[in-house]
Amino acid sequence: MAHSPLLAERVRDALRRERGIREKRMFGGLAFLLDGNLLVGVWTSSLVVRLGFEQASEALREPHVAPFAPSGRPMRGWVIVEADGLEHDRQLVAWIDRAAAFVRTLPAK
C-alpha cells in the first residue's frame, strides 16, 4: 500500500529541526523514528501515531482517530489519524508533538 507523498513531505517539514529523526519503510508505508524508536508514520493518506496505551485510549475519543490495525489486529498504544484530521499543519504538528512527548520517555535504540 503506497503512502501519500504530500503527507510525508508535511511530516518531514514538521520534523526538520528535530534531532535524531530517521525515515524507514514499514507497515507498507513510511515511518519516522526518533532516536531509533518509531514516532509517527504515513500509511496511505493517514498518520500513524505512537502515543502509549493511556494516551492512545484517550485519543480514540477524538474525531478522525481509529485504532491502528495494519494486520486486522489493533496495535496497543498506536492510533491512526485520518486525512480529515490533518487538514491544517497545526493539527499535524500537534499529533507529532504528542507522539514525541511519549517516545522521549523510551530509551534510545
- Domain presence at residue 76: yes
- Domain presence at residue 109: no
- Domain presence at residue 49: yes
- Domain presence at residue 47: yes
| Number of H-type helices and E-type strands within the chain | 3, 6
pLDDT digits (tens, 9 = 90+) for 45-85: 999 999 999 999 999 999 999 999 988 899 999 999 999 99
- Domain presence at residue 96: yes
Taking the CA atoms of residue 77, residue 81, residue 82 and residue 83 in that order, the dihedral angle to the nearest 10 degrees is: -150
Walk across the sheet containing 65-67 and list its strands.
21-26, 29-34, 37-43, 46-50, 78-81, 65-67
For the chain, the domain total comes to 1
Percent of the chain clearing pLDDT 90 (strictly above) = 89
- Domain presence at residue 51: yes
- Domain presence at residue 87: yes
Q: Which domain holds residue 25?
A: 5-103
Find the CATH number of the domain harbouring 71: 3.30.1460.30
